[in-house]
Structure 1
Amino acid sequence: MVTLGIDIGSTTSKCVMLRGGTDIVATSLVPGGIGTNSPDRAMAEVLAKSGLSAGDISYTVVTGYGRSNYKGADMQVSELSCHAFGGRFVFPKLRTIIDIGGQDVKVVSLSEAGKMTNFIMNDKCAAGTGRFLDVMAGILQIKLGDIETLAAMADKPSSISSTCTVFAESEVISQLAHGSTVPNVVAGICESVASRTASMVKRIGVTEQVCMSGGVAQNGGVRRALEKTLGVPIAYSPLSQLFGALGAAIYAYNKLQHEK
């Protein structure tokens, strides 16, 4: 039995194809999310990688920002539930998920059995999100992939105290004008994201094991800053950005098993 999970985010579209509820057959991640043709391109890519056709898929679940606009799935499921399923698949003892995406931040608490018990979300402001990091990287004229390396080179992280992207941009320019090095400014940006996120996590409580999901999970500079701020290790997997799609594929499998 093959199931498919599609996660349509604000900036990327992801697919995970699962066989038997346990074996990942193929994955895809395509830039561009809601309002673009990226979900279709992600679907085409995962089919090409797997060597299967759409007719081979038993059930498809879509999640994420753009789930309501996607017509090619059998069911829509909240991204909170899907990230919980995907996270527990990779980290069986997971209790806290910190999902930092392109436009929002979510924190989800799970019971020992993996049931969602609480969550908090910030979707009103881009500060602390992937978009925030995109803007900061643009100001510094660096690649997003360089943030982790540059942050590790810092000897005195700059203070970026503003929680507003626009004001933080001014702070970064001011820090550079006053002689701060790029590595120190980058480290300050990572600490700013970590501080804002940690305040959300602490509002619902930190229970280990803790992991990050979403695109920003790949940023080691932010992960390390968050570990320092929260005082707990942050689990990471190369699949972290795919947790939503993975969880959707698992949800699809469980639904079919339940119907049987």
Structure 2
Amino acid sequence: MIGCMCKYSPFAIFEGFSEEGKIINSDIDGFDKSETLLHPSMCSYSKVLLDTLIEKGIEEVFLVNCCDSIRRLKDTLEKMDEIKFVYMMDLPRKNSCCSKDMLKNEIIKFIKAYEEYKGKEFNIEKFNKGLYKYLSPKREKEKDYIVLLGAKASLDLIHKIEDNLDYPLVNETCSKEHYITEVNNFNSIEEIAEWYSDQILSKTPCMRMADTTNRRTLVEDPNLKGIIYHTVKFCDHYSFEYMGLNKGNIPIIKIESDLTNQSNGQIKTRIEAFNEQLNGGQFKMKEIKNKDKIYAMGVDSGSTSTNVIILDKDKNILSSVIVRTGARAKDSAYKALDLALKEAKLTKEDISLIVGTGYGRYNIDFVDENITEITCHGKGAHFFNKDVRTIIDIGGQDSKAISIDENGNVKSFVMNDKCAAGTGRFLEMISKTLEIELKDMSVEGLTYNEDITITSVCSVFAESEVVSLIADNKERRDIIHGVNKSIATKTVALVDRVGRNPGFMMTGGVAKNAGVIKAIEERLNGKLFIAEEPQICGAVGAALIGLEKILETL
């Protein structure tokens, strides 16, 4: 088998040698080998290629010359005993007569190089027979579907997307299967190379090509329901296309990864929220025995706190409970459930529908349905203030910016990546370092003498920077002010990605921190609406969604 990078590899040529080419699809947990064999600044795409080649025991490699990282990867592969053959093809960036001549010569050069390596000649008859494997099937008119665009995604990410969508996924990244549009019988290598170069350059162009206008056809299908756009960390090539698509009318979500197997919670939440944005979520309703006594419960199982809300049919809050999430999310949920039922003077059997949300929602066995906290925060924010259009939610382990419409429905959203910088956990870590309680830290940074800036974007490095400031004998209030500014900078950057639409609301435990609120408001140049209890917004939204579903069936 010959391991290949992308759809531009001449797969049918390999058939002439009785070999099969396969796109290298990553399915690894980390960069075990590449961290030692490649420079630390190399992009994750080149690293994942190297680790996957080693893990799968692939000895023959075909690369396409697309960037410096791939060229450096080729240099490394040529020095490895495990790799017996490596070839890099120069791919023209244009689709012109001169480009086709150049690619034709590249294909002929590869055939000669592989003949020399294998010690056997290219077989034209085998090539002609093998062409049928790559003939693109006539595509029937699609039903509604989602398209995956952007940079190549890992198998793990693709499976997570497919598992959490109600629509089929069509992969249009560079890991899409290789295809040709016609089959001919050829008599010479010269004819084959000339024909094949035209086939390759006529494909829907990737973002590396000079003219990418034909890519618009990928998003002009009336059956297209939404776009999942994938980019690779530290490679901004596809981000330019995303910025243009993000201004259109088709729902779109951007996911950035390093091509290794990703955090289940983050990816699952994003895809599920996107799916809910497209179809509103479907509930399996149980029978309502007493239509006069309808109660809906929302359970928000977060990393820091577990919150439970009970609403009656008139949307009155009958109970509101917040407990700290301990080592087991399930135990905290049961504790909050008991307290909420006791406060409302109800039994579990009285509750018509229980909706779970938050990262721990799938570990709670007493909920009837699950909805992402993104959708729930939209409904909860609208309940508290009808004028809210942009929600900032800073929880224990992530931050979100959510744009909603006049009915509380999610229009778009973004989440921070796996780093905890700018979250509740980050503040807890800094408070311990500064030896101050969180409630005191909330107000101590409001007044300061020196305008300190925390420059690190990583929570671990930011803590190290704080330690250095302590060693420099800086005032604690000045350091706290710097931390607040750092959180505000990251938060407002998220807001700008969904659009700075006035009508701002902040939710989550960090919304109780006066210093962070002030810093965010200064950067937003706008006032934040804070509910009386900002931590219950998600649970309220979950209960509201449940109540709406109940009332729809009556």
Question: How far apart are 1:21 and its partner, in Å?
Answer: 4.2
Compared CA separation, residues 38 and 224, structure 1 to 2 (3 A): same
Question: How far apart are 1:239 and its partner, in Å?
Answer: 2.3
Distance 1:55 1:112 in 2: 34
Does 1:6 find its partner at 2:307? no
Question: How far apart are 1:68 and its partner, in Å?
Answer: 1.4
Q: Give the stretch that moved more between structures: 131-140 or 170-179.
A: 170-179
Q: Give the partner amino acid of 1:115.
A: N
Q: Give the stretch that moved more between structures: 247-256 or 231-240.
A: 231-240
Query: Which digits, 9 at most, give the CA deviation of each residue in 1:33-78, with x for residues without a partner?
Result: 6733101111111111112111111111000101112110111111
Distance 2:300 2:417 in 1: 17
SS of residue in 1 equivalent to 2:299:
strand
**Residue from 34, 38, 42 that aligns with 2:332:** 38
Does 1:147 find its partner at 2:441? yes
8 Å CA contact 1:158, 1:175 repeated in 2? no
Q: Give the partner amino acid of 2:516.
A: V
Compared CA separation, residues 73 and 21, structure 1 to 2 (3 A): farther
Match of 1:60 in 2: 354
8 Å CA contact 1:14, 1:29 repeated in 2? yes
SS of residue in 1 equivalent to 2:522:
helix
Distance 2:356 2:326 in 1: 13
Alignment of 1:1-260 (within 5 A): 1-32=294-325, 35-36=328-329, 37-260=331-554
SS of residue in 1 equivalent to 2:501:
coil
Distance 1:65 1:178 in 2: 39
8 Å CA contact 2:443, 2:513 repeated in 1? no
Distance 1:21 1:155 in 2: 51
Question: How far apart are 1:115 and its partner, in Å?
Answer: 2.0
Distance 1:34 1:113 in 2: 37
8 Å CA contact 2:355, 2:369 repeated in 1? yes
Distance 1:147 1:137 in 2: 7
Compared CA separation, residues 34 and 3, structure 1 to 2 (3 A): farther
Give the number of equivalent residue pairs.
Answer: 260
Distance 1:147 1:21 in 2: 39
Distance 2:333 2:474 in 1: 41
SS of residue in 1 equivalent to 2:445:
helix
Compared CA separation, residues 34 and 245, structure 1 to 2 (3 A): farther
Distance 1:191 1:63 in 2: 30
Unaligned runs of 5+ in 1: none
Distance 1:38 1:258 in 2: 31
Q: Give the partner amino acid of 1:249.
A: A
Distance 1:21 1:101 in 2: 29
Q: Give the partner amino acid of 1:58.
A: S
What is the TM-score with the length of structure 1 in the denominator? 0.97
8 Å CA contact 2:389, 2:405 repeated in 1? yes
Question: How far apart are 1:204 and its partner, in Å?
Answer: 1.6
Question: How far apart are 1:112 and its partner, in Å?
Answer: 2.7
Compared CA separation, residues 199 and 173, structure 1 to 2 (3 A): same
Q: Give the partner amino acid of 1:118.
A: S
Q: Give the stretch that moved more between structures: 69-78 or 32-41.
A: 32-41
Compared CA separation, residues 123 and 14, structure 1 to 2 (3 A): farther
Distance 2:317 2:462 in 1: 40
Question: How far apart are 1:123 and its partner, in Å?
Answer: 4.0
What is the TM-score with the length of structure 2 in the denominator? 0.46
Structure number with higher strand proportion:
1
8 Å CA contact 1:88, 1:114 repeated in 2? yes
SS of residue in 1 equivalent to 2:451:
coil
Query: Which digits, 9 at most, give the CA deviation of each residue in 1:87-108, with x for residues without a partner?
Result: 1100111100011000001111
Question: How far apart are 1:155 and its partner, in Å?
Answer: 2.4
Identity %: 38
Highest CA radius of gyration, 1 or 2?
2
Distance 1:168 1:177 in 2: 14
SS of residue in 1 equivalent to 2:397:
coil
Compared CA separation, residues 33 and 210, structure 1 to 2 (3 A): farther
Question: How far apart are 1:180 and its partner, in Å?
Answer: 1.4
Unaligned runs of 5+ in 2: 1-293
8 Å CA contact 1:61, 1:77 repeated in 2? yes
Compared CA separation, residues 123 and 13, structure 1 to 2 (3 A): farther
